[in-house]
């Protein structure tokens, strides 16, 4: 019991407000007590002004909180975790998309006609993948369009011209062809519309070599 | 008590008469009557004042009870009782005491600035709520917005009952202090 001195100077005895009693206030306001506990609490409430004050303070705070729209802006245990997971997954998705996009850009750049010619010229003798009897068997996944056209054209030519023989006038490789004709890389890259013909020619030659 | 509250008006219950609704709210009120009376006993010196105060609380319950969230209904009743008891004290001390007595316990008119003050208070309260530790916010949410009992909250969070209670109480204290 605590001694309380009122404004008129009288001394009153009041119960000590322990944490347990404050918690009991909370349970009472939120109907978390059984009937026996409620009876005991209300008896204490009728005898203690400080307990009434504590009850009033808690009631005020609970009432204010209840006026906020239900749950708005308040994280729940599950929502907090899932929210963080969602943010993390979203970040990962964005990064993956960015990497894919960058990869596609780089790959596309390397496979432009000019860059193909560059790589071929830089390493003479290295030719694009060859066309076999079944064209689709040897198709890389990301072959430039002009190469595909060239291969198709070459394949058709081979199928139509069954008496195809290797011409001595044809260069062994594109590199050789460039050397013989003195063409510059920039010439090919500047005219991608014709570059497929050179590749086709080299593939015809290669196929003819394999056959023959 | 929250289970005893009258059903809210909707298409199915629209035929419910005012008398029936008053009777339903009376049941809710009577469940809290003992506590309210005990609470007011230390605040109002005369039994007649306590009765007057309780009458106002009941009228307000009928008028505004539907707008109060079920878990907070009891707290709301105590708040109304506390406010009304304070008003009675003020009216007793004021010069218009006699006029008020003859005019009955009429509820004061609403101040037009109340809505703005209320909106501002709510805004600050939301900010203060977000600044609470997550563990405290969780308990507040689960108790007031999901209406779990403290024991259920303790079980869900795997903490002792006293810890759940203390988190809630400290959250309320912090919010109250922030709004002072």
- What's the complex ipTM? 0.79
Over range B39-50, report the average pLDDT: 90
Cβ pair B140:A65 closer than 8 A: yes
Structure tokens at B8: 């809210």
**Residues of chain B contacting A72 with CB distance shorter than 8 Å:** 126
Out of A49, A63, A68, the one facing B75 most closely (by C-beta) is: A63
Average pLDDT of every residue of chain A: 65
8 A C-beta contact, residue B138 and residue A77 = yes
**In a 10 Å sphere around its CB, with 0-12 CB exposed, 13-18 middle and 19+ buried, how is residue B147 labelled?**
middle
Enumerate chain A positions whose Cβ falls within 8 A of a Cβ in B. Answer: 19-20, 22-23, 26-32, 38-39, 41-43, 45-49, 52, 55-68, 70-77, 80
Which residue of B30, B37, B38 to mutate against A (max A Cβ within 10 Å)?
B38
**Residues of chain B contacting A19 with CB distance shorter than 8 Å:** 166, 169
Percent of chain A, pLDDT > 70? Answer: 36
Tens of pLDDT, residue by residue over A48-89, are 989 999 999 999 999 888 887 554 545 444 444 444 555 566
Cβ pair A26:B43 closer than 8 A: no
Out of A27, A39, A52, the one facing B150 most closely (by C-beta) is: A27
Out of B35, B144, B172, the one facing A42 most closely (by C-beta) is: B35
Residue with the larger pLDDT of the pair A105 and A78: A105
Of B151, B161, B149, nearest to B1 by C-alpha is B149
> Is it the case that residue B171 has pLDDT exceeding 90?
yes
Cα nearest neighbour of A47 on chain B? B42
8 A C-beta contact, residue B85 and residue B44 = yes
CATH 1.10.1740.10 domain span(s) along chain B: 2-103
Over range A163-168, report the average pLDDT: 47
Instruction: Tell me the range of A45-54, A107-116, A150-159, B113-122 where mean pLDDT is highest.
Output: A45-54
Q: How far is B143 from chain A (nearest CA, A)?
A: 9
Instruction: Provide the 8-state DSSP code for A18.
Output: -
Residue with the larger pLDDT of the pair A160 and B161: B161
Q: What is the CATH number of domain B114-179?
A: 1.10.10.10
Over range B72-90, report the average pLDDT: 92
**Confidence bin at B103 (pLDDT 50/70/90):** low
Q: How far is B74 from chain A (nearest CA, A)?
A: 6
Residue with the larger pLDDT of the pair A131 and B82: B82
Cα nearest neighbour of A79 on chain B? B138
Percent of chain A, pLDDT > 90? Answer: 18
> Is it the case that residue A28 has pLDDT exceeding 60?
yes
Average pLDDT of every residue of chain B: 83
Q: Which of A144-148, A150-154, A178-182, B67-71 has the lowest mean pLDDT?
A: A178-182
**Confidence bin at B166 (pLDDT 50/70/90):** very high
**Residues of chain B contacting A62 with CB distance shorter than 8 Å:** 71-72, 75, 144, 172
Q: Which of A111-125, A145-159, A173-187, B34-48 has the lowest mean pLDDT?
A: A173-187
pLDDT of residue A58: 94
> Is it the case that residue A181 has pLDDT exceeding 50?
no
Cβ pair A61:B172 closer than 8 A: yes
CATH 1.10.10.10 domain span(s) along chain B: 114-179
Cα nearest neighbour of B152 on chain A? A32
Tens of pLDDT, residue by residue over A33-59, are 999 999 999 999 998 989 999 999 999
> Is it the case that residue B110 has pLDDT exceeding 90?
no
Over range A144-161, report the average pLDDT: 67
User: pTM for the complete prediction?
Assistant: 0.56
CA angle A72, A59, B100 (to 5 degrees): 120
Over range A164-188, report the average pLDDT: 46
Q: What is the CATH number of domain B2-103?
A: 1.10.1740.10
> Is it the case that residue A199 has pLDDT exceeding 80?
no
Residue with the larger pLDDT of the pair B5 and A139: B5
Residue with the larger pLDDT of the pair B179 and A137: B179
Q: DSSP readout, chain B?
A: -GGGSPPPP-TTTTT--HHHHHHHHHHHHHHHHHHHHHHHHTT-SSHHHHHHHHHHHHHHHHHHGGGS-GGGHHHHHHHHHHHHHHHHHHHHHSTTHHHHHHH-SPPPPPPTTHHHHHHHHHHHHHHHHHTS-HHHHHHHIIIIIS---HHHHHHHHT--HHHHHHHHHHHHHHHHHHH-
pLDDT of residue A72: 53
> Is it the case that residue A155 has pLDDT exceeding 80?
no
Out of A56, A66, A75, the one facing B72 most closely (by C-beta) is: A66
Q: How far is A76 from chain B (nearest CA, A)?
A: 5
């Amino acid at each position: 019991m605590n001694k309380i001195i009122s404004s008129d100077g009288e001394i009153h005895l009041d119960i000590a407000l322990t944490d347990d009693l404050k918690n009991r206030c909370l349970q009472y306001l939120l109907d978390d007590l059984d009937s026996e506990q409620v009876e005991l609490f209300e008896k204490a409430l009728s005898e203690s002004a400080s307990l009434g004050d504590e009850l009033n303070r808690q009631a005020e705070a609970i009432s204010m909180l209840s006026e906020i729209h239900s749950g708005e802006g308040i994280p729940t245990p599950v929502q907090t975790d899932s929210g963080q997971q969602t943010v993390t997954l979203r970040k990962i998705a964005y990064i993956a998309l960015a990497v894919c996009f960058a990869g596609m850009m780089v790959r596309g750049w390397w496979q432009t006609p000019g860059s193909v010619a560059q790589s071929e010229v830089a390493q003479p003798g290295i030719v694009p993948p060859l066309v076999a009897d079944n064209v689709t068997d040897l198709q890389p996944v990301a072959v430039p369009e002009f190469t595909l056209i060239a291969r198709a054209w070459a394949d058709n030519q081979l199928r139509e011209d069954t008496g195809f023989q290797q011409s001595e006038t044809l260069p062994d490789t594109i590199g050789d062809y460039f050397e013989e004709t003195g063409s510059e890389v920039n010439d090919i890259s500047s005219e991608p519309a014709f570059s497929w013909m050179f590749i086709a020619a080299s593939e015809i030659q290669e196929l003819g070599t394999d056959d023959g | 008590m929250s289970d005893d509250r009258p059903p809210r008006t909707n298409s199915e219950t629209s035929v419910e008469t005012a008398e029936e609704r008053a009777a339903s709210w009376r049941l809710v009120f009577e469940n809290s009557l003992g506590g309210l009376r005990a609470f007011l006993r230390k605040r109002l010196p005369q039994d007649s004042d306590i009765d007057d105060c309780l009458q106002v609380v009941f009228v307000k319950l009928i008028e505004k009870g539907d707008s109060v969230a079920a878990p907070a209904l009891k707290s709301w009743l105590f708040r109304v009782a506390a406010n009304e008891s304070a008003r009675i004290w003020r009216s007793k001390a004021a010069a218009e005491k006699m006029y008020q007595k003859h005019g009955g316990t009429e509820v004061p008119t609403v101040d037009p600035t109340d809505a703005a003050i209320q909106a501002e208070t709510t805004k600050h309260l939301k900010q203060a709520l977000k600044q609470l530790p997550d563990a405290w916010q969780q308990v507040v949410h689960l108790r007031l917005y999901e209406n779990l009992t403290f024991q259920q909250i303790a079980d869900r969070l795997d903490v002792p009952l006293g810890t759940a209670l203390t988190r809630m109480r400290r959250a309320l204290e912090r919010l109250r202090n922030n709004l002072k």
